[in-house]
């Protein structure tokens, strides 16, 4: 009767995702535990003992952490500024912030290649102004990836934060001030704590996104590998599918752990839900 109709409505989507997403992923992770038909952790041991692999992991983490921090520092004030604007201005500013988000990551990363290259904008300016003798190697370094990823994820951070800040009643600041707090203190003790949950969510999205990004590191990283480009290299170029599966499994675990922690944190930080 009624109940069974509900499940029929959900069935096609469920079957589709189960067959084409869940099962392949589960099988992929499962396959990493079997080498030559016996259950083993050997693949993971191998991965974590090899300095080359560890370096890649470390580089990826480094890049992601820095990107996240920069996004927070740049994004929070900007989001606050936008959230305080009148609806018309706010709409325009939001559209301008969203636009890069909807553009292809290839386009965005490519634009940085022009800017950071040896004959690019920055080097031309530096050499032209006599600040340096010969062009700096900015492109194809972790720094370039950080810049590219920041550019990629900053809009995401800004939008998350604007959403949260919009919900904070403006009267709260005024109330705090009427009770004797200076503008800065009021902000620090009233607005900021309320914005933290949104900040955390935004930061996690940026962190996880940077950790698993492919396009930007592929274009701006050169020989520097991050786990996403490492996965691709193993799968398509080196045809080492076992290793690729191991990397994939590690990426999934990291993602789920981070997101899981975020969920827990978000719940404790904001009991209101």
Partner 1 sequence: MREKHIGLGLFSLLVFIFLLGPLLIISVTSFEPGTVLKFPPEGFSFRWYENIFNTGGFLRTFQTSIIISLLGNLLALLLGVPAAYALSRYDFKGKSVLNALFLSPVLIPGIVLGFTLMKYLIVIYHLPMYLGLLIGHTIIMLPFIIRVIASSLSSFDFAVEEAALSLGAGRVRTFFQIVLPNIRSGILAAVLIAFLESFNNVDISVFMTGPGVSTLPIQMLTYVENYFDPTIAAISVLLMVLTGLLMFVIERIMGGFSYFTKR
Q: What is the 3-state secondary structure (H, E, C) of 202-237?
A: HHHHHHHHHHHCCHHHHHHCCCCCCHHHHHHHHHHH
CB of 45 to partner 1, least distance (A): 21
Q: Tell me what percent of the chain is helix, strand and coil, each rounded to the nearest 5.
A: 80, 0, 20
User: Under rule CB under 8 A, which residues in 253-272 are in contact with partner 1?
Assistant: 255-256, 259
CB of 207 to partner 1, least distance (A): 12
Q: Does 30 bind partner 1 (CB under 8 A)?
A: no
User: Under rule CB under 8 A, which residues in 182-221 are in contact with partner 1?
Assistant: 198, 208, 211-212, 214-215, 218-219
CB 154 within 8 A of CB 72: no
CB of 198 to partner 1, least distance (A): 8
Please give the Cα distance from 253 to 33 (Å, whole number): 14
Two tokens, residue 91 = 């709409």
Q: Which is nearer to partner 1, 51 or 132 (CB)?
A: 132
Contacting partner 1 (CB under 8 A), which of 61, 69, 252, 269?
A: 252
For residue 117, give the DSSP letter. S
Q: Does 222 bind partner 1 (CB under 8 A)?
A: no
Contacting partner 1 (CB under 8 A), which of 96, 132, 175, 238?
A: 96
Helices within 84-134 (DSSP H only):
87-102, 105-116, 121-128
Q: Does 17 bind partner 1 (CB under 8 A)?
A: yes
User: Under rule CB under 8 A, which residues in 125-184 are in contact with partner 1?
Assistant: 151, 154-155, 159, 162-164, 166-167, 170, 173-174
């Amino acid at each position: 009767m009624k109940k069974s109709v509900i499940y029929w409505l959900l069935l096609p989507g469920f079957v589709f995702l189960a067959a084409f997403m869940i099962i392949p992923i589960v099988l992929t992770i499962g396959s990493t535990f079997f080498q030559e038909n016996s259950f083993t952790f050997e693949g993971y041991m191998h991965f974590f003992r090899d300095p080359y692999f560890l370096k890649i992991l470390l580089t990826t983490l480094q890049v992601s952490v820095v990107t996240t921090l920069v996004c927070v520092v740049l994004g929070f004030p900007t989001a606050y500024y936008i959230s305080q604007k009148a609806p018309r201005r706010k709409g325009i500013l939001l559209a301008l912030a969203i636009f890069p988000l909807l553009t292809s990551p290839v386009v965005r990363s490519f634009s940085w290649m022009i800017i950071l290259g040896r004959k690019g904008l920055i080097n031309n300016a530096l050499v032209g102004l006599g600040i340096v003798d010969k062009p700096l190697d900015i492109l194809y370094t972790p720094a370039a990836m950080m810049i590219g990823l920041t550019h990629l994820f900053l809009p995401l951070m800004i939008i998350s934060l604007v959403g949260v800040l919009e919900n904070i009643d403006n009267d709260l600041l005024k109330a705090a001030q009427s009770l004797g707090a200076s503008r800065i203190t009021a902000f620090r003790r009233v607005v900021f704590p309320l914005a933290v949950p949104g900040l955390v969510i935004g930061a996690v999205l940026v962190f996880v996104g940077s950790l698993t990004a492919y396009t930007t590191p592929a274009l701006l990283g050169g020989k520097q590998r991050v786990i996403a480009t490492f996965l691709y290299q193993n799968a398509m170029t080196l045809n080492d599918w076992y290793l690729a599966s191991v990397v994939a499994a590690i990426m999934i675990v990291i993602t789920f752990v981070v997101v899981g922690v975020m969920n827990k944190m978000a719940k404790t930080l904001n009991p209101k839900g």
